[in-house]
Amino acid sequence: MMHIIYTSLTGRQGIPSFDKDREWLDFRIKFFERYTINSLLNQSESNFLHWISFKENTEQDPLIKKLKRHLEKLNYNFVFTFGFQYPHRKHQTKEFKKEIPERLQKSLDAIKEYHSKQDYIYLTFLDSDDLFYKDVVQEIQSYDFKYKRALCFSKGYIYNTKSGVLAQWNPDTCPPFSTILYPANVFFDAKSHLEYRPGNVSHLTVPELFNVINLPGRKYVVGCHGKNSTTTWRHSYRGPEYLDKEEKRDILKDFKIN
Protein backbone atom coordinates (compact mmCIF):
# COMPACT_ATOMS: atom_id res chain seq x y z
CA MET A 1 0.00 0.00 0.00
CA MET A 2 0.86 3.68 -0.15
CA HIS A 3 0.37 5.18 3.29
CA ILE A 4 -0.61 8.86 3.52
CA ILE A 5 -0.99 10.85 6.73
CA TYR A 6 -3.28 13.84 6.23
CA THR A 7 -3.11 17.09 8.22
CA SER A 8 -5.08 20.27 7.59
CA LEU A 9 -3.24 23.35 8.83
CA THR A 10 -5.46 26.17 7.54
CA GLY A 11 -8.74 26.71 5.72
CA ARG A 12 -10.85 24.02 7.33
CA GLN A 13 -14.52 24.67 6.67
CA GLY A 14 -16.77 24.92 9.72
CA ILE A 15 -14.12 26.27 12.07
CA PRO A 16 -13.71 30.00 12.83
CA SER A 17 -11.05 31.60 10.68
CA PHE A 18 -8.29 31.65 13.27
CA ASP A 19 -5.82 31.18 10.43
CA LYS A 20 -6.41 34.79 9.36
CA ASP A 21 -4.56 35.76 12.53
CA ARG A 22 -0.82 35.83 11.83
CA GLU A 23 0.02 35.27 15.48
CA TRP A 24 -2.21 32.17 15.57
CA LEU A 25 -0.69 30.71 12.38
CA ASP A 26 2.87 31.31 13.61
CA PHE A 27 2.04 29.60 16.90
CA ARG A 28 0.30 26.67 15.19
CA ILE A 29 3.18 26.00 12.82
CA LYS A 30 5.74 26.08 15.64
CA PHE A 31 3.60 23.70 17.69
CA PHE A 32 3.20 21.45 14.65
CA GLU A 33 6.97 21.32 14.14
CA ARG A 34 7.82 20.70 17.79
CA TYR A 35 5.20 18.09 18.60
CA THR A 36 3.37 16.59 15.61
CA ILE A 37 6.32 16.37 13.24
CA ASN A 38 8.66 15.10 15.95
CA SER A 39 6.25 12.28 16.77
CA LEU A 40 6.20 11.28 13.10
CA LEU A 41 9.97 11.47 12.76
CA ASN A 42 10.08 9.08 15.72
CA GLN A 43 8.04 6.39 13.95
CA SER A 44 9.53 2.90 13.75
CA GLU A 45 8.23 2.76 10.15
CA SER A 46 9.05 5.84 8.08
CA ASN A 47 7.53 4.75 4.76
CA PHE A 48 4.66 7.24 4.53
CA LEU A 49 3.83 10.53 2.81
CA HIS A 50 2.63 13.45 4.93
CA TRP A 51 -0.06 15.37 3.04
CA ILE A 52 -0.38 18.85 4.56
CA SER A 53 -3.19 21.08 3.28
CA PHE A 54 -3.72 24.83 3.42
CA LYS A 55 -6.37 27.24 2.23
CA GLU A 56 -6.16 28.44 -1.35
CA ASN A 57 -3.81 31.17 -2.57
CA THR A 58 -1.37 30.90 0.32
CA GLU A 59 1.58 29.29 -1.49
CA GLN A 60 3.66 32.45 -1.04
CA ASP A 61 2.82 32.98 2.62
CA PRO A 62 6.18 33.56 4.39
CA LEU A 63 5.23 31.34 7.35
CA ILE A 64 4.20 28.47 5.07
CA LYS A 65 7.33 28.83 2.95
CA LYS A 66 9.42 28.77 6.13
CA LEU A 67 7.72 25.54 7.22
CA LYS A 68 8.45 24.02 3.81
CA ARG A 69 12.15 24.87 4.10
CA HIS A 70 12.24 23.36 7.59
CA LEU A 71 10.72 20.07 6.43
CA GLU A 72 13.02 19.92 3.42
CA LYS A 73 16.05 20.26 5.68
CA LEU A 74 14.80 17.24 7.62
CA ASN A 75 14.57 15.19 4.39
CA TYR A 76 10.96 14.65 5.36
CA ASN A 77 8.55 13.01 2.91
CA PHE A 78 5.71 15.52 2.51
CA VAL A 79 3.53 17.35 0.00
CA PHE A 80 1.71 20.68 0.40
CA THR A 81 -1.65 21.26 -1.30
CA PHE A 82 -3.81 24.37 -1.36
CA GLY A 83 -7.59 24.74 -1.54
CA PHE A 84 -9.00 21.41 -0.34
CA GLN A 85 -9.51 20.30 3.25
CA TYR A 86 -11.39 17.30 4.53
CA PRO A 87 -14.29 18.68 6.58
CA HIS A 88 -14.23 18.74 10.34
CA ARG A 89 -17.91 19.58 10.69
CA LYS A 90 -21.00 19.76 8.48
CA HIS A 91 -21.11 23.55 8.54
CA GLN A 92 -19.85 24.09 5.01
CA THR A 93 -21.15 26.80 2.73
CA LYS A 94 -23.13 25.73 -0.34
CA GLU A 95 -20.49 27.33 -2.53
CA PHE A 96 -17.71 25.28 -0.94
CA LYS A 97 -19.66 22.03 -1.31
CA LYS A 98 -20.02 22.65 -5.04
CA GLU A 99 -16.28 23.20 -5.36
CA ILE A 100 -15.23 20.10 -3.41
CA PRO A 101 -14.74 17.72 -6.41
CA GLU A 102 -12.56 20.16 -8.34
CA ARG A 103 -10.56 21.17 -5.27
CA LEU A 104 -10.04 17.53 -4.30
CA GLN A 105 -8.95 16.43 -7.79
CA LYS A 106 -6.31 19.15 -7.90
CA SER A 107 -4.87 17.91 -4.60
CA LEU A 108 -5.05 14.26 -5.64
CA ASP A 109 -3.15 15.05 -8.82
CA ALA A 110 -0.35 16.58 -6.75
CA ILE A 111 -0.20 13.50 -4.51
CA LYS A 112 -0.25 11.12 -7.47
CA GLU A 113 3.25 12.26 -8.38
CA TYR A 114 4.43 10.31 -5.32
CA HIS A 115 2.41 7.19 -6.16
CA SER A 116 4.46 4.15 -7.20
CA LYS A 117 1.61 2.07 -8.60
CA GLN A 118 0.62 0.57 -5.26
CA ASP A 119 -2.80 -1.10 -5.34
CA TYR A 120 -4.13 0.47 -2.17
CA ILE A 121 -4.02 3.81 -0.37
CA TYR A 122 -4.20 3.99 3.44
CA LEU A 123 -5.23 7.50 4.47
CA THR A 124 -4.65 8.39 8.14
CA PHE A 125 -5.99 11.59 9.71
CA LEU A 126 -3.90 13.55 12.21
CA ASP A 127 -4.60 17.09 13.41
CA SER A 128 -1.81 19.64 13.45
CA ASP A 129 -1.57 19.74 17.26
CA ASP A 130 -1.78 16.01 17.94
CA LEU A 131 0.81 13.22 18.11
CA PHE A 132 1.17 9.51 17.38
CA TYR A 133 2.86 6.78 19.42
CA LYS A 134 6.13 5.53 17.94
CA ASP A 135 4.72 2.34 16.33
CA VAL A 136 1.42 3.67 14.96
CA VAL A 137 2.49 3.73 11.30
CA GLN A 138 3.87 0.20 11.56
CA GLU A 139 0.67 -1.03 13.23
CA ILE A 140 -1.61 0.55 10.64
CA GLN A 141 0.39 -0.97 7.79
CA SER A 142 0.16 -4.44 9.36
CA TYR A 143 -3.55 -4.65 8.43
CA ASP A 144 -4.59 -6.12 5.10
CA PHE A 145 -6.75 -4.17 2.72
CA LYS A 146 -10.48 -4.82 2.70
CA TYR A 147 -13.06 -2.77 0.86
CA LYS A 148 -14.66 -0.11 3.08
CA ARG A 149 -12.38 -0.97 6.00
CA ALA A 150 -11.35 1.69 8.51
CA LEU A 151 -8.95 1.54 11.45
CA CYS A 152 -9.50 3.67 14.53
CA PHE A 153 -7.61 4.36 17.75
CA SER A 154 -10.44 4.97 20.19
CA LYS A 155 -8.63 5.96 23.39
CA GLY A 156 -5.59 8.14 23.91
CA TYR A 157 -4.05 10.82 26.09
CA ILE A 158 -4.38 14.57 26.45
CA TYR A 159 -1.27 16.59 27.27
CA ASN A 160 -1.34 20.15 28.59
CA THR A 161 1.80 21.71 27.15
CA LYS A 162 1.46 24.72 29.45
CA SER A 163 1.32 22.82 32.74
CA GLY A 164 2.99 19.56 31.69
CA VAL A 165 0.03 17.53 32.98
CA LEU A 166 -0.85 14.27 31.19
CA ALA A 167 -4.26 12.59 31.46
CA GLN A 168 -6.29 9.89 29.78
CA TRP A 169 -8.51 10.83 26.84
CA ASN A 170 -11.67 8.74 26.61
CA PRO A 171 -14.02 9.91 23.82
CA ASP A 172 -17.44 8.32 23.40
CA THR A 173 -17.48 9.01 19.65
CA CYS A 174 -15.14 8.11 16.81
CA PRO A 175 -12.13 10.43 17.30
CA PRO A 176 -10.37 12.08 14.33
CA PHE A 177 -7.54 9.50 14.26
CA SER A 178 -9.03 7.10 11.76
CA THR A 179 -7.43 5.44 8.74
CA ILE A 180 -9.55 4.86 5.64
CA LEU A 181 -8.47 2.08 3.25
CA TYR A 182 -9.04 2.88 -0.45
CA PRO A 183 -8.44 1.06 -3.71
CA ALA A 184 -5.89 3.29 -5.47
CA ASN A 185 -8.08 3.83 -8.55
CA VAL A 186 -10.89 5.03 -6.27
CA PHE A 187 -8.65 7.27 -4.19
CA PHE A 188 -7.14 9.21 -7.10
CA ASP A 189 -10.43 9.90 -8.88
CA ALA A 190 -12.34 12.68 -7.12
CA LYS A 191 -15.78 11.43 -8.14
CA SER A 192 -15.11 7.86 -6.97
CA HIS A 193 -13.28 9.15 -3.90
CA LEU A 194 -16.28 11.20 -2.81
CA GLU A 195 -18.65 8.31 -3.39
CA TYR A 196 -16.44 6.12 -1.20
CA ARG A 197 -16.08 8.79 1.49
CA PRO A 198 -18.51 11.69 0.93
CA GLY A 199 -16.96 15.14 1.14
CA ASN A 200 -19.57 16.61 3.46
CA VAL A 201 -19.12 14.28 6.42
CA SER A 202 -16.96 14.43 9.52
CA HIS A 203 -14.94 11.85 11.41
CA LEU A 204 -17.98 11.22 13.61
CA THR A 205 -19.72 9.39 10.78
CA VAL A 206 -16.87 6.97 9.99
CA PRO A 207 -18.57 4.05 11.85
CA GLU A 208 -21.71 4.60 9.74
CA LEU A 209 -19.83 4.43 6.43
CA PHE A 210 -17.06 1.89 7.06
CA ASN A 211 -16.33 -1.41 8.74
CA VAL A 212 -14.28 -0.11 11.66
CA ILE A 213 -11.61 -2.03 13.51
CA ASN A 214 -11.00 -0.39 16.88
CA LEU A 215 -7.29 -0.67 17.58
CA PRO A 216 -6.08 -1.42 21.12
CA GLY A 217 -4.06 0.76 23.45
CA ARG A 218 -3.61 4.49 23.82
CA LYS A 219 -1.69 5.44 20.70
CA TYR A 220 -2.28 9.18 20.29
CA VAL A 221 -1.90 12.38 22.26
CA VAL A 222 -4.28 15.31 21.96
CA GLY A 223 -2.23 18.47 22.35
CA CYS A 224 -3.84 21.06 24.63
CA HIS A 225 -2.17 24.47 24.47
CA GLY A 226 -4.79 27.07 25.31
CA LYS A 227 -5.49 28.04 21.69
CA ASN A 228 -7.52 24.95 20.78
CA SER A 229 -10.82 25.59 18.99
CA THR A 230 -12.66 22.55 20.37
CA THR A 231 -10.40 20.51 22.67
CA THR A 232 -10.08 22.21 26.03
CA TRP A 233 -8.52 20.90 29.22
CA ARG A 234 -11.92 20.88 30.93
CA HIS A 235 -13.42 18.67 28.21
CA SER A 236 -15.65 15.82 29.41
CA TYR A 237 -13.46 13.27 27.60
CA ARG A 238 -10.52 13.97 29.91
CA GLY A 239 -9.93 11.10 32.34
CA PRO A 240 -7.58 10.52 35.30
CA GLU A 241 -4.26 12.34 35.40
CA TYR A 242 -0.90 10.56 35.58
CA LEU A 243 0.61 11.64 38.87
CA ASP A 244 3.62 9.32 38.92
CA LYS A 245 6.47 11.30 37.29
CA GLU A 246 8.34 8.24 36.07
CA GLU A 247 5.23 6.70 34.53
CA LYS A 248 4.37 9.98 32.81
CA ARG A 249 7.92 10.39 31.50
CA ASP A 250 7.90 6.84 30.08
CA ILE A 251 4.63 7.51 28.24
CA LEU A 252 5.70 10.87 26.83
CA LYS A 253 9.09 9.71 25.54
CA ASP A 254 7.40 7.28 23.14
CA PHE A 255 5.61 10.26 21.60
CA LYS A 256 8.94 12.15 21.43
CA ILE A 257 7.87 14.65 24.11
CA ASN A 258 10.84 15.56 26.30
Give per-residue pLDDT as tens, 206-247: 888 899 999 999 999 999 886 656 667 778 899 999 999 999
The C-alpha atoms of residue 167 and residue 175 are separated, in whole angstroms, by 16
The topology (CATH level 3) of 2-153+173-218 is Spore Coat Polysaccharide Biosynthesis Protein SpsA; Chain A (3.90.550)
The C-alpha atoms of residue 116 and residue 245 are separated, in whole angstroms, by 45
The C-alpha atoms of residue 54 and residue 96 are separated, in whole angstroms, by 15
pTM given for the model: 0.92
236, amino acid identity: S
* Residue pLDDT, tens place only, 203-216: 777 888 899 999 99
* Residue pLDDT, tens place only, 58-100: 999 999 999 999 999 999 999 999 998 886 555 566 776 788 8
For 228, residues 6+ apart whose C-beta sits below 8 A from its C-beta are: 129
Strands (E), the chain: 2-8, 49-54, 78-82, 120-125, 130-132, 149-160, 165-169, 178-183, 211-224, 238-241
- Closest by CA to 101, choosing from 185, 179, 200, 208, is 200
